[in-house]
Amino acid sequence: MRVRRFHLEDTPGMDGQLSEPSPTLPGMAEDSGTAIAVVPEQPGPPRGPSLSPSRAGDFLTCPLLYRFRVLDRLPEPPSPAAVRGTLVHAVLERLFDAVAGDRTPDAARALVAPEWDRMQAAEPELAGLFDDDEQRAAWLAEVMRMLDRYFTLEDPRRIEPAHRELCVEAELASGLRLRGYIDRLDVAPGGQMRIVDYKTGGAPPEEFEARALFQMRFYALTLWRAQGQVPKLLQLMYLGNGEIVRYEPDEADLLATERKIEALWLAIERATLNRDWRPRPGRICDWCAHQAICPAFGGTPPPVPDLPARRDEVPEPRDGASPV
Ligand code: SF4
């Protein structure tokens, strides 16, 4: 495995290095929200359990947090950071609807208002996100700064994504299904795949970097098992501070990831069976919406609910709510 970090200020001329064109392969028309999958959709026999990188990361970070999100399905109020992440992702997804020459910083900024309106229409509770107009203005200014920073990292006029907001899914030999959403998949003329993930927090402190890289390995493993090809490059783009982390996976690396995920799933099954969901306090608690009912903070959790029918139907949060 090779991991390389780049700081914008350390690498003059980076724009050209990271903006290699990646035209769409014939037969892989650009679209949005499509799924690369080896598992047939309905109808079919009952499908096995599934796991996403976000939920896997939750369990690794704090088993009780996993329980609250997956078993209890407790609502989490929208936070400005999380909603900002969703908005920035939406704008960057829509930006590639424009013809290449029109993907400019001004075009991205112009997408903010309509995308924000669309989000508020879909989730009226977002109207109460801010205490006052000043707070809203500061939040919007940060959205604009992140979009401007994106253009310092790569030139979208030179990129033709194969997919955006791509749902990937694959089934392991054990029957466990891996699934997740990839922000962008670029495919080079030779067929090499590059997974791109936008992060709207800063680049992670060292203790969180493992979680971010685990998420990327998870995506790479899923694509490998779904398509039979190891992605050439995984690229995390931190729009909070203009840093890029690039990771080149290989088969040995992904096999180790597969073993880790299988072991993790066994641990989740064991915790489910034993109804044993222990809190694991750490920096993640700063972003956790459930401190009031967490024993680590003097709270009392509700009784463990019976198993939901489909543990995989929990929506994926955007990345803005946590440091990774
Ligand atoms: S507050 Fe911390 S320890 Fe408690 S559930 Fe949340 S993340 Fe886990």
pLDDT at 201: 77
Distances (CA, A) of 120 to 15, 115, 126, 315: 34, 9, 6, 18
Kindly state whether residue 148 falls inside one of the protein's structural domains.
Answer: yes
Which atom of ligand 1 is found nearest the CA of 295? 4
Tell me if 157 sits within 8 A of 103, measured CB to CB.
Answer: yes
Per the structure, how many domains does the chain have? Answer: 1
Kindly state whether residue 308 falls inside one of the protein's structural domains.
Answer: no
Residue range 82-101: mean pLDDT, rounded: 97
Q: Which of 295, 282, 294 is nearest to 323 (CA)?
A: 282
Spatial CB neighbours of 234, under 8 Å, sequence gap ≥ 6:
194, 195, 197, 216, 217, 219, 220, 246, 247, 248, 249
Residue range 185-210: mean pLDDT, rounded: 84
How far is ligand 1, taken at its centre, from the CA of residue 299, in Å?
10
Kindly state whether residue 299 falls inside one of the protein's structural domains.
Answer: no
Residue range 54-73: mean pLDDT, rounded: 94
Which atom of ligand 1 is found nearest the CA of 289? 6
How far is ligand 1, taken at its centre, from the CA of residue 130, in Å?
25
Q: Which of 285, 232, 102, 262 is nearest to 171 (CA)?
A: 262
What range defines the domain where residue 145 resides? Answer: 2-39+49-265+314-321
Kindly state whether residue 25 falls inside one of the protein's structural domains.
Answer: yes
Kindly state whether residue 156 falls inside one of the protein's structural domains.
Answer: yes
Ligand 1 pocket residue status of 288, Cβ below 6 Å: yes
pTM: 0.81
pLDDT band, very low/low/confident/very high, at 284 (cuts 50, 70, 90): confident
pLDDT at 70: 93
The pLDDT tens digits for 214-259 are 989 999 999 999 999 999 999 999 999 899 989 899 999 999 999 9
Q: Indicate if the pLDDT at residue 322 is higher than 60.
A: no
Residue range 314-323: mean pLDDT, rounded: 45
Kindly state whether residue 306 falls inside one of the protein's structural domains.
Answer: no
33 or 77: which carries more pLDDT confidence?
77
Amino acid type, 33: G
Phi, psi (rounded to 5 degrees) for 205? -65, 165
Kindly state whether residue 303 falls inside one of the protein's structural domains.
Answer: no
Residue range 185-209: mean pLDDT, rounded: 84
Ligand 1 pocket residue status of 65, Cβ below 6 Å: yes
CATH of the domain at 93: 3.90.320
Kindly state whether residue 305 falls inside one of the protein's structural domains.
Answer: no
Which atom of ligand 1 is found nearest the CA of 280? 3
d(CA 71, CA 305): 7
d(CA 229, CA 257): 15
Q: Indicate if the pLDDT at residue 15 is higher than 90.
A: no
How far is ligand 1, taken at its centre, from the CA of residue 64, in Å?
7
pLDDT at 300: 97
